[in-house]
A = this chain, B = another copy of it.
Amino acid sequence: MKILVSGAGGFVGRKLIEQLSAGHQVVALDKSCAGLVPSPELTVLEGDICDPAMRETAISDGVDALVHLATVPGGGAEQDTDLAWRVNMEAGQALISVAAGQGNRPRVIFASSIAVYGEPLPAVVDDTTPLRPFLFYGAHKAMMEQWIATLIRRGAIEGLSLRLPGIIARPPAPSGLKSAFMSNVFHAALAGESFVSPMSEKAAMWLMSVEQIARNFQHALTLPSDAFVEPYAVTLPAVLVSMKDLIEEIAVQTGWDSARVSYEPDAALEAGFGSYPPLKAERAKALGFEDDGSVARLVRAALGHIRKGTKGES
């Protein structure tokens, strides 16, 4: 299978490319593809998804599937709404249009987000919870879900939108994500530094390791075509964990002294990123998508990812 991955140079994209390159032809497209090494299996295209010529080039040799990760995320979209509209809406629509225009009904797997739900959330989120985004980012994701579902209904493409929970542990660099604290706590622990939590102890989050989300994208690429039924978007399962439990598990696994953590909750941030109720992701589970299974395994995977990355750079 020949797979185009947009946003391939990002945090999730790089992990997915690493997993996919064994056994597939992959085209990696991103503005920056630093560290992605071309090989017989991997074509690396560095360019702007907003450039029509780059979109044509990416599809020019034909693709069987598109994993569409490229996005201006939550914080970035709030700061530059126009750029976010161009990337998240116009460029996304145009890239999928070029892929559909091949006429081979390519599989499109779209990285949506739990930001489609907005806030406040009901007592339990399940597959019937209405989409009421508040962030521009969440609105863009909900709108693209609708567009992709329409193209699937029309037979132009096949596929699914996956709503991603918080993915950890991202690199410490600024990523435009308002949820960066979820990853920064890991970096603080590994460095033995103090950490100021912008969430209260009881703040609750839906989290998934980057390894697990990459496996879920791979799974979506291997599902039989008849697995894709209405509605063409699913919320992925996730580990629900409080800030306190997350910190204590990180401390146990790293030897970090959790007394180095102080709590200075930011009410607005906690409303958006730390107020998640129980999640019943039954449709996604029935389709074979999985979460990390436990807080311990989630933390182990996140720490393993950081350590591997550090080793690779040394």
On A, residues with C-beta under 8 Å from B are 81, 85, 89-90, 93, 97, 118, 130-134, 136, 138-139, 142-143, 146-147, 149-150, 153-154, 230-231
Contacts and interface: CB of A to CB of B under 8 A. Distances in A.
B150 A134 contact: yes
A283 to B, nearest CB: 14
A150 B139 contact: yes
B147 A132 contact: no
A91 to B, nearest CB: 12
A133 B153 CA distance: 8
A184 to B, nearest CB: 27
B130 A150 contact: no
Nearest to A140: B147
B134 A149 contact: no
A202 to B, nearest CB: 25
Given A85-B93, A134-B150, 18 more contacts: A81-B97, A89-B89, A89-B93, A90-B90, A132-B149, A132-B153, A133-B150, A133-B153, A134-B153, A134-B154, A136-B150, A139-B146, A139-B147, A139-B150, A142-B146, A143-B143, A143-B146, A143-B147
Q: Which 5 A-B pairs have the closest CB atoms?
A: A139-B150, A143-B143, A142-B146, A143-B146, A133-B150
A181 B118 CA distance: 42
Nearest to A90: B90
B133 A146 contact: yes
Contacts of A142: 146
A118 B153 CA distance: 10
14 contacts: A89-B93, A130-B231, A132-B149, A132-B230, A132-B231, A133-B150, A133-B153, A138-B150, A139-B146, A139-B147, A139-B150, A143-B146, A143-B147, A146-B146
A270 to B, nearest CB: 18
Nearest to A231: B130
Contacts of A143: 143, 146-147
Contacts of A231: 130, 132
A85 B89 CA distance: 10
